Amino acid sequence: MKFVLPAVLFMSSLTMAQGKPAAAPGKVTYLRCGTLYDGKSDAPQKNVTVRVSGEKVEAVGVATPEAGAEVIDLSREVCLPGLIDTHTHVLLQGDITAEDYDVQLLKWSTPYRTILGTISARRALEYGFTTIRDLETEGAGYADVDIKKAINNGVIPGPRMQVAGRSMNVTGAYPLLGYSWELKMPKGVQEVDGPADGRKAVREQISNGVDWIKVYSDRSYFVRPDGALDDIPTFTLEELKAIVDEAHRERRKVASHASALNGVHNSVEAGVDTIEHGQYIADADLKTMVAKGIYYVPTLFVGEYVAEGRAATGAKVWIDMVRIHEETFNRALKAGVKIAFGTDAGGFDWKINPAKEFPLMVKAGMTPAQALRSATMTAAELLGMLDKIGSVEAGKLADIVAVPGDPLADVQELQKVNFVMKGGTVYVRP
């Protein structure tokens, strides 16, 4: 795979500052796809030509390219809509142990972490994720807003982004913890206490450019004798409701890190828009999620990745959580909950392909087609961008990737993306 810098990177600084689109408005490109899964249907289309004009798909079908148009031969490839990861952290570079996390907050400056974050964003694009939702910077303020701006202005390559800036948690519930009480340590979150404080924090974050509000709704997990994963809730229900109400009033959505019984229940009752991780969700809460249209973003791979490291430090509950997580995923699928693809990349090293999530979703009960749809149409719907991305069809942005084999026959193929087009600009070629 070769990473190809788009021409936009060599534009004048004035042009980049003006935020011109990456693809020239009049440029026409034809993609000759051997197979196309357009995202709307699970049925493959054979020998399809996609006509791209500027940054959008103009037509899908059989066409003869006109003179002067660029033609890209993908006749041996399977073309797909650009993939969407709805849970990432470009400012985090893996935190399998508490020490990994502490080093990033204590020894790395925010400018240095931002430089690394630009590389993470580029890697996401190279893996075939043309859109991501980045759910907080873990102590790096609003640096994700700046990375998003740099991508939009053509300064650096990367996926289109929705960002959450600083997550919220209550005082004393989130690292850095365990240091001398005489030291005032930096925090990976914005500490918020009380409904009024929550409303103020929502307003502050929105004023600094966030697209989403994120809350941490539980901590301190343990398995009960009946097999349920229990927890200590962080916010009171009154606090959560105030945060959700304020965010929705400001036309923003709320993502809740909720891994276990009480955190999930309180989040669902408060009316959040997405449940992140959800290792354990009670059946009654699954029914409420369906009724309210709350999305589930399970992030299975990071649970397995982190469990080994945490168990080595004595936290054996993480091993049990992997098993419980798979069972919960299967129950959620059968209950009809909307499941969107998300990986928590950054919680594991960005050198690991986030598409490792797909086989785990299939193992937990999805078909390959359902797993692919979770990262295309369902994810686009979660982001409120279904009119722009999620499928390859006329009028939508030309976010198209390709793999050498059929991902609906072998979902592992999604880890082999070798062509990436975002907004009509080619970033990776076979």
Q: Are residues 182 and 299 in the same domain?
A: yes
The residues, ordered by sequence, that sit 6+ positions from 65 with a Cβ below 8 Å of its Cβ are: 28, 30, 49, 71
Asked if 110 and 62 sit in the same domain, the reply is no
| Residue 332 falls inside a structural domain | yes
Q: Is the peptide bond before 237 cis (omega within 30 degrees of 0)?
A: no
Range of the domain at 26: 2-82+391-429
Task: Report the pLDDT averaged over residues 233-242.
Answer: 98
Residue 370 belongs to some domain of the structure: no
pLDDT the model gives residue 23: 65
Residues 237 and 255: their CA atoms lie apart, in Å, by 15
Mean pLDDT confidence for 175-183 = 95
* Percent with pLDDT over 70 in the chain: 93
User: Which of 8-17, 153-162, 256-265, 270-279 shows the lowest mean pLDDT across its residues?
Assistant: 8-17
* 299 beta partners: none
Q: Are residues 172 and 318 in the same domain?
A: yes
pLDDT of residue 96: 72
Confidence of residue 18 (pLDDT cuts 50, 70, 90): very low
Residue 224 lies in a domain: yes
**69-108 tens-digit pLDDT:** 899 999 999 999 999 999 999 999 998 777 889 999 999 9
User: 257 in a domain, yes or no?
Assistant: yes
Whether 385 maps to a domain, the answer reads no
Which of 136, 195, 208, 197 minimizes the C-alpha distance to 167? 136
* Res. 311 pLDDT band, cuts 50 70 90: low
185, pLDDT greater than 80: yes
pLDDT in tens, 332-365: 999 999 999 999 999 999 999 999 999 999 999 9
Both 67 and 170 in one domain: the answer is: no
Could you tell me if 290 and 395 lie in one domain? no
pLDDT over threshold 80, residue 41: yes
Of 23 and 54, which is predicted with more confidence? 54
| Domain limit, last residue, from 294, 328, 352 | 352
Q: Is residue 199 part of a domain?
A: yes
Q: Give the pLDDT confidence score for residue 24 in this predicted structure.
A: 66
Same domain, 346 and 268: yes
DSSP result, 50-101: EEEETTEEEEEE--PPPTT-EEEEEEEEEEEEPEEEEEE-TT----SSHHHH
- Maximum Cα–Cα distance for the chain, whole Å? 73
Question: 362-420, pLDDT tens digit by residue?
Answer: 999 999 999 999 999 999 999 999 999 999 999 999 999 999 999 999 999 999 999 99
Q: What are the structure tokens assigned to 359, written together?
A: 């086989």
Looking at the domain assignment, is residue 328 inside a domain?
yes
For residue 152, the Cα-to-chain-centroid distance in whole angstroms is 17
pLDDT value of position 327: 98
User: Do 236 and 297 reside in the same domain of the chain?
Assistant: yes
Same domain, 92 and 57: no
Flag whether pLDDT at 19 surpasses 50: no
pLDDT at 11: 33
Together in a domain, 402 and 259: no
Q: Which of 228, 298, 292 is nearest to 260 (CA)?
A: 228
Q: What is the pLDDT of residue 7?
A: 38
| Residue 175 in this model has a pLDDT that exceeds 50 | yes
Q: Which of 1-15, 218-232, 255-269, 373-387 has the lowest mean pLDDT?
A: 1-15
Domain boundary among 295, 327, 352: 352
b/e code 330-368 from CB counts within 10 Å (16+ = b):
ebbbeeebbbbbbbbbbbbebebbbbbbbbbbbebbbeb
Q: Are residues 166 and 272 in the same domain?
A: yes
Four-CA torsion 331, 332, 334, 338, nearest 10 degrees:
-170
Percentage, residues of the chain above pLDDT 90: 86
Q: Is residue 114's pLDDT more than 70?
A: yes
Q: For residue 21, what pLDDT is reported?
A: 44
Residue 369 within any structural domain of the chain = no
| pLDDT band at residue 316 using 50, 70 and 90 as cut-offs | confident
> pLDDT category, 321, cuts 50, 70, 90?
very high
Kindly state the tokens that stand for 225. 């004798």
Q: Are residues 327 and 399 in the same domain?
A: no
Where are the strands (E) in 1-44, listed by range?
Answer: 2-3, 28-36
- Of the pLDDT bands very low, low, confident and very high (cuts 50, 70, 90), residue 317 is confident
* Bridge partners, residue 256, by sequence: 215, 275
Model confidence at 14, pLDDT cuts 50, 70, 90, reads: very low
At 205, which CATH number? Answer: 3.20.20.140
CATH of residue 46: 2.30.40.10
Last residue of a domain, one of 294, 324, 352: 352
> Total domain count for the chain?
2
Whether residues 29 and 144 fall in one domain:
no
Residue 6 binned pLDDT confidence (cut-offs 50, 70, 90): very low
Query: Contact 117/159 with Cβ under 8 angstroms?
Result: no
The tokens describing 386, both together, are 């279904």
